[in-house]
Each structure stands twice: as structure tokens, then as C-alpha cells.
Chains A and B, each alone.
Chain A
Amino acid sequence: MQAVRSSLWAVHGSVLQHMRVRAVVAPSTTGLWGNGNARTMSGEAHGTYLDRRDVIDRVLAVVKSNQKVDASKVSETASFKDMGLDSLDEVEVVMALEEEFALEIPDAEADKIRSASDAIDFIASHPSAK
């Protein structure tokens, strides 16, 4: 029994000597994770901005879905007043845009959005717009 086990161990040793896996050198040989890797762990560190074309399409879709708006006058450059909206309607449109893009716009900023281009600029430059 003892002889079988020792001969098996001899076979084991020789097999291991002849079967070697080539060691792969890791790309970062220093072994330290620099600032670049650590910062990308959490997505909120750098904002994810939306494409401007997508923003334009979605904003115009939201504005057109409002029943009081004149669909023929909706364009990127028109102000909400030209489209036939009251000042209270403008507030409602801004709230609808907030819900569409999952944004939280402070009251002072929301008051400044008076046209479709204002809204598009604001949303395209917002880091957390979805």
C-alpha cells in the first residue's frame, strides 16, 4: 500500500513538472489601482448626458401631447406663448417635462424656462437627466 502511494506521488510530481501553465503577466504590474479606476466605481461621479437629438424629440413629444397646444406651431425655436399656452400652462408643461426626464428643477430655474429651446438647453446640459 505504501509503495503504491509513493509511486503515485512520483507520477504526480512528474506530471506536474511537465504540465506547466504559462503565467500571464497582469496589465498593471505595479499592483496599485490609480485614481482612474477608483473613480469609475460609482456612476454618479461623472454625469451621463443625453443626446441632444433625443432630448429634442422627447421634449417636442411632451409639448405636443398637451391638449391646449396648437400642434402646427410646435417647433424647437418657438416660445410656449407662441404655441398658444397660458403662463399657468407653461408651468404645467415644465412639470410634465420634469416627470418625463425624472428631473428635479428648482423653482427659480423652472421660472426661466419660457420656450422649447430653453427647455432643451436645460435638459441637455443636466448631468442626471434620464
Chain B
Amino acid sequence: MAAACLRLVWLAPLLLGLVDGGRAEPPRDALREELVITPLPSGDVAATFQFRTRWDSDLQREEGTDHYFLRYAVLPREVVCTENLTPWKKLLPCSSKAGLSVLLKADRLFHTSYHSQAVHIRPVCRNARCTSISWELRQTLSVVYDAFVTGQGKKDWSLFRMFSRTLTEPCPLASESRVYVDVTSYNQDNETLEVHPTPTTTYQDVTLGTQKTYAVYDLLDTAVINNSRNLNLQFKWKSPPENEAPPVPFLHAQRYVSGYGLQNGELNTLLYNTHPYRAFPVLVLDTVPWYLRLYVHTLTITSKGKENKPSYVHYQPAQDRLQPHLLEMLIQLPANSATKVSIQFERALLKWTEYTPDPNHGFYVSPSVLSALVPSMVAAKPVDWEESPLFKSLYPVSDSSSYFVRLYTEPLLVNLPTPDFSMPYNVICLTCTVVAVCYGSFYNLLTRTFHIEEPSTGGLAKWLANLIRRARGVPPL
């Protein structure tokens, strides 16, 4: 979270197909919105907005999905800025006029140390037999503020300090509009911190495998937006918290390129399972552009120094300029281990018009996608998706003992061998010079006439010699 990792991923509905609710009939045109605020002891504050819109459609769901139409596409790097936020906000029913969306002010949202913005669209069954479907549009925006740095060493925060706005009214179209504040470790004693205004209700739940407590503010509850007609959540640390290390997630990953030179290289993915005693499988999906020619026989997976055989490998080779490599593997991660997946590749030479305008910057390789059912520490009750808050479905619980996580590793930047782009001109110049030199001497040889020059008889020497000769009486030269 230290580096600003900006990504805008448009996910096909199929990628989200894992979560399939639809037990209860969703209301027509239902909008639910919520904001989850998680203050961290370090002074970072994470805020996650979620907006979910549903509408009915007459499209009938086909029997099964035709996998021929499955598409997966990634843009490895996109600099996210206001021009991504504006159309995203336009999709919200209340635009940015009412409800939680008033907080979405571009100049504050992009002054953060982390920004992630997403749009998900998927069909949802309206009844158990799935005879009719609704479409669900889910928009999420997560930002992390560094309150410690921006607040000159203070770790207190408020909505106004984060967003330079306060909540004034609920969106009239929303059937649910709530703010959740994570108060897990602080609510036992009111000594460490204070939340103002005092929450009327709290919500307890198991998220990411641990027990969490949230203070809930329901905007549709008229008492919440008080007489001053606005809600400005404030959070004060009474005694400065210990700088404890943040909890390490059970699954995290890292990716890098190794090797030297411009011919060969190696893609490495490190997968960490920090769970003390449970092993779990991870599905790794990699798409690698065709100009990195993968050597599949060099694919090695090692964990704890031993070879780890994947239980499932699907590989689709690349075709030059047509399709990238697709590599999918199911790997079992042993408990408390780091697993290294590495594969060697050769860098291809591109045609000279295929290079980007700044070829020496390198070429981006898309992140690999990890999907896993991570075992949780605390058993979670199975819940009804329609009833529980939206953020629950970010990490849906499949059964009581594990929850689903999808991780994206960092994109890679790989240098390709770049030609000297002035080479054609140099070649032309050199060839021309060689041709000109050859031609010149040949031309001279053929057109010049050569004849032997009579040595010219020396003037003064001859006259002197003749003078002496005449004096001697010898005939002159």
C-alpha cells in the first residue's frame, strides 16, 4: 500500500460469476451505497465506497455459457486521473449531488497514497430457477489517506479533513445508505479513541478471517443527520496508539523479472501463505504478451525448497501479433511458506514500426491474477447476501471456514532489445559513400587518358652545361 498502485480493471461479468446470490428477489432499480472507513494505528485511513445498482432486463439467460465468447483483457498500465472519475461518477444515479457521492471530490481523491477504482457488471438471477435476470452494476472506489503526514503528525481525522465535504442528505433513490467505521480493537475501552458522533448501532462480523466491529451510521435514519443538517464523522485518538506492525494477510504475492542481458530473462512470482497451519490451493492466471517467448519446459514451482507439482496446468501458446500466452495453474500452497513460480523467456525482436514512441522505457507485462479460498481464523456464519452489507461481498465466504480472495500482482516492466532507429539512415549513408568511392575511382580510370610525359629539359642546368661545353669546344646538348 506504500506505493500508489493505480489500476482500473473492467471485469467481465464472467470473472465475477463466482458469487451468485439471487435467493431473494432483488427490488427493481435498487441502489445501495456504503462507505467503509478503516482507521489504522499508523495514521493511514482507508475509505472504500461501494455503489450497487440493479435493474431488470428482458434478456434471457442462455443455457450455460458459451466459452467461445469468453474474453479476458488487461491494460497493464493506466494512469488514473479525473478523466476516469468523471464518467465513473456519471454512472451513479444520484451523480454527485446527494448521498455518499457528495464526498467524491476529485482533487481530494487523487491526493492519496492509494487509489483503486472499479466497475463490475454482471447478471444476477431473479429467482431460484434463474428464468429471468437482473443486471447489477457495482462501482467501487478505494482510497488510502495518510492522515499522519497530511495532518502534521496528528492521527485524528474527520470526513471533512479527508474529503473536504460533509454528508448532508441521503440519496433519495437509495434503499440503503450507510457509513461503517471499523472500531474493532478500540471499542472495549473508550480510553484509546473517541468517535463523534457516538454511533447508535454497531455491527459485528467476520471479515478477512478475523472478527471485526463496525460503528454504523445510517443516512436514511433521520436522527443521524442532526440539527446542523450535516454529518461530519470525527475520530480522535485519546492516547496515542502503539506503533504495532499491521497484521499480515494470509495470502500475498510479489512478482519480478530476473536475468541479465537483452536475450533471456525469467518471470518470477512469489506466493506467500502466512497461515500458521493451513495449506490452501491458489489459481494463478498469467497472460504474457507474445513478444516474451515463454519456455514452458522451464516452468518450475518450488516451495520450502522442494518441487511443488501443480494439480492443474492449462497453457495456450501465443501467436505472434495475434494472441498472448495464457498460463493457468492450480498450486497448493503449504502452510507458512513462500512458493516461487518461475518461467524463462526469450525477448523477441519487434518490427521497427511496432515499437512504442519511447521503446527504451520498456514494455508492460500484465499482472498475474491469484484466486484463492483462504481459510479464516474465526468461523463465519453463512449469511444472506441481500441482507448483509455490501463490503461483505468483496471477500465472499464460501463456507464457514474460508473466504474468497482475488489478488492482482504488480505489473512488470520488461526491456526489449531495441534497434538503433537511425540505422536505416546510417546504412543508406554508408552504402552511398562506398558506392560513391568505388564509382569515383572507376570513373576516373575509364575516362581519364594517361600518357607518358617527356621529362622537361632543365633550363638553367642545360644553359650552364652548354656554356661549359662551348668553352671546351664540345658540341652543345
A and B interact: no
Residues of B within 8 A of A (CB): none
